[in-house]
Structure 1
Amino acid sequence: MAQKSAGSALTRRGTGRWHTFHEKFVVEERYIDPADRRRLYRASIILAVVGLALFIATLVSVVQGGGLSAADAPVHNWLLTTRSAAATAFMIFLAVFFGPIALPIIVLVVILIWGFAAKHAWRPILLAAAMLTGVIVSQIILHIVQRSRPPVDQMLFGADQTFSFPSGHVLGACDFLLVGAYLIFSRRRNPRAAVFGFIGAGIGITLAITSRLYLGYHWPTDTLASFSLSLLILGGVIALDTWRTARIPGEPVTGELSEEGAPQDEGLR
């Protein structure tokens, strides 16, 4: 009897571990108002169209040497006149924070903590996929366009002779902040929280762009291209998330762990 009891306990523990692991990868579905789902799809389309159109316009101007890129040299030269010791120190801090070492570590830590703490891993996985997509897309475009950076002697944090268009620093910051803000605040009932969340994301993006321009590593159109690509990625994330998780009354909800009630203020849960 004792052996049977011990065996049953081990079986329950094994089953419990498997159930906990399994439920992480069950995509939660939620009921929302039909109008809200239409707004989400509309927003995703608008973001994707605006992002694609803005990127194409920026790319054409860079390749042809006119249009939006005509402002690159004047803006770059003006920023050279605004440099100071205090501003440079702050901009270098931002460059390190949004750089290719610190930002991936921050993103990885956020994804792991969120993934383990949350009931479902759908949103952390979406964030990871968006970040990876940004890296792949930027590397492909970098080697196709092969645009030169501003003069090396004007760079304030070491020489960088890699290609310039688009800015990987800015694209990573935009993807992390914009997609992260959507994935967190899309589950909250209070629209003001989403407004403040995206305002915070906008401030972070502005700081990342300003840092890259001030330190002399990019032309303004490099950063504009990164922002436009991030809008395109954000639109794709919203569309995919809405298609996979948003249900309206009358539609079946699948998944044993999905919420069948009204949307709740979940935050990172």
Structure 2
Amino acid sequence: MLFALIARLRPTPLLRAPREVLFCWAGALLVAGDAVFWLMFAAVQSDSGLAAMDVPVHSLIVDSRNPAATALLAAVTTVTSPEMLGVIGAAFALAWAVWKRELWRPAVLMGAILLAVVLTTLIKQFVSRSRPPASDFLLGPDDALSFPSGHTVGIGVFTVVLAYLVLSRSGTRTTAVLGFSAAFAVTALVGLSRLYLGYHWLTDIVASFGVALAVAAVAVFTDAARHGSSKNRAKT
């Protein structure tokens, strides 16, 4: 659905799209994110659906480990930890504010990251799901709860919201497709790293995509409400 909306846009900056169109983007992201999250939540609670694949997928990945993949994915997960991502996001937002001499977009980005942290923490406490066996952890002990993955939610929100904020001012249809595709690919890589290193179940990662999309929807809606052009102005 997201790519269909992107494809309909003219090769002009996305911000020139009517506010109503940007609101539709936000609505599509929110519906998609909610659907993914609640499907995974229901699967975990009933131990059915995709949750039936959690143990087999975990075992398959553990049995397929090799030194090269371990080194790569350990580096990926270290750089994208919630703590590290918070520091990177703050530094990036500060540099952006100074360089571009604006506060709005850096504030939207940091607000989205903060919302992601709060939501992830609340959901973890509510669901209270245990991680896979500690004997399979590759980077030491971790007694935090498992559902959803903070790494995956954080990087998903950071990359998707960043892509939107940059492309909504200067992007074209082609750069939009490339930018959002890159954001989803990076998020998928981080999710894979959490599975590979033994800290999450498959449904944790899929649910994290849903949370990230929902938070991104809030950021898009907030930015569009302030800067999106009205339908009448867009026609003139």
TM-score with structure 2 setting the length: 0.88
Distance 2:159 2:123 in 1: 22
Give the counterpart letter for 2:199 in structure 1.
Y
Give the counterpart letter for 2:20 in structure 1.
R
Do residues 118 (structure 1) and 100 (structure 2) align? yes
Distance 1:129 1:31 in 2: 20
CA offset digits 1:32-51 (Å, max 9, x no partner): 354xx333221111110111
Other structure's SS at 1:186 match = helix
The equivalent position to 2:199 in structure 1, one of 213, 217, 228, is 217
Do residues 32 (structure 1) and 16 (structure 2) align? yes
Correspondence for 2:6: none
Distance 2:156 2:213 in 1: 8
Q: 1:100-119, aligned counterparts within 5 Å?
A: 100-119=82-101
Correspondence for 1:78: 60
Aligned length: 221
| C-alpha distance 31-62 of structure 1, shift in aligned 2 (>3 A) | closer
Do residues 227 (structure 1) and 209 (structure 2) align? yes
| C-alpha distance 243-216 of structure 1, shift in aligned 2 (>3 A) | same
Give the counterpart letter for 1:134 in structure 2.
A
Do residues 246 (structure 1) and 231 (structure 2) align? no
Moved over 6 A (4+): none
| Aligned residues of 1:185 and 1:193 also touching (Cα < 8 A) | yes
Correspondence for 1:11: none
Other structure's SS at 2:82 match = coil
Other structure's SS at 1:163 match = coil
CA offset digits 1:89-126 (Å, max 9, x no partner): 11110111111332222111101101111232111100
Distance 1:205 1:231 in 2: 11
Long gaps (5+) in structure 2: 1-13
Correspondence for 1:96: 78
Moved more, 187-196 or 64-73: 187-196
| Aligned residues of 1:32 and 1:249 also touching (Cα < 8 A) | no
Give the structure with the larger helix fraction.
Answer: 2
Correspondence for 1:140: 122
| Aligned residues of 2:123 and 2:147 also touching (Cα < 8 A) | yes
Larger radius of gyration: 1
CA-based RMSD of the aligned residues comes to 1.8
Deviation at 1:182, TM superposition (A): 0.7
| C-alpha distance 147-198 of structure 1, shift in aligned 2 (>3 A) | same
Deviation at 1:160, TM superposition (A): 1.1
TM-score with structure 1 setting the length: 0.78
Distance 1:190 1:50 in 2: 23
Other structure's SS at 1:147 match = coil
Distance 1:203 1:33 in 2: 26
The equivalent position to 1:177 in structure 2, one of 132, 148, 159, is 159
Distance 2:21 2:137 in 1: 44
| Aligned residues of 1:55 and 1:229 also touching (Cα < 8 A) | yes
Over the matched positions of the two proteins, sequence identity in percent amounts to 36
